[in-house]
A and B are shown apart, each in its own frame.
Chain A
Amino acid sequence: GNSVTQMEGPVTLSEEAFLTINCTYTATGYPSLFWYVQYPGEGLQLLLKATKADDKGSNKGFEATYRKETTSFHLEKGSVQVSDSAVYFCALPSQAGTALIFGKGTTLSVSS
């Protein structure tokens, strides 16, 4: 079945540093790919998505490009802020399409 692997954390950065969180997937076909963010004490929010190969999803300064050649969907941000401190999850639909399959999450901590 479909699966996703993302880099382990925690990731600790200083404000304005460059961020990359790696995500690779295994899937049948070319499913949509997602990044979700979970701020402390809250539920998950969709951060960005890409629905087909070579698509770039972007939101709030974050970007991720759907790379079918490398089966990857890495999350990047050029200049992180303290307010970006959260847990980030890479996700894709299950093979049946009724569920989301999440990675284990990467905790980002940004200090000023």
Chain B
Amino acid sequence: DAGVTQSPTHLIKTRGQHVTLRCSPISGHKSVSWYQQVLGQGPQFIFQYYEKEERGRGNFPDRFSARQFPNYSSELNVNALLLGDSALYLCASSPGVSSSYNEQFFGPGTRLTVL
């Protein structure tokens, strides 16, 4: 079975541009979460979507947005990129909403570099 897939693998953008990152969850998983991992730090929660609805939002500015499609895949959009947005963006899928009872399976991530 395929795991969580993310595209692209790497991305280089310049300040002020926007970016779209994509994630396909494990088949049968209805929840997708996005995390930002800055070098040397633990992942920070950005969003969770379940059944196409936003179920959780971390402490990130409105430049960050996301959506989930009927096939449960998801996009993360970041507008007006800043140098500080350079990070590894991780997508995680799980069968349900609760992070206590549903194991989250992580993709390999998209490495975003903002110049």
Interface residues of A (CB under 8 A from B): 31-32, 36, 41-46, 49, 51, 89, 91, 93-94, 96-105
Contacts and interface: CB of A to CB of B under 8 A. Distances in A.
Contact of B99 (A43, A99, A104): A99
B48 interface: yes
B97 interface: yes
Residue among A32, A93, A98, A101 with most chain B CB within 10 A: A98
B58 to A, nearest CB: 7
Contacts of B92: 44, 100
Contacts of B44: 102
B42 to A, nearest CB: 3
B111 to A, nearest CB: 10
A98 B92 CA distance: 12
A44 B41 contact: no
A51 B108 CA distance: 26
Contacts of A104: 40-42
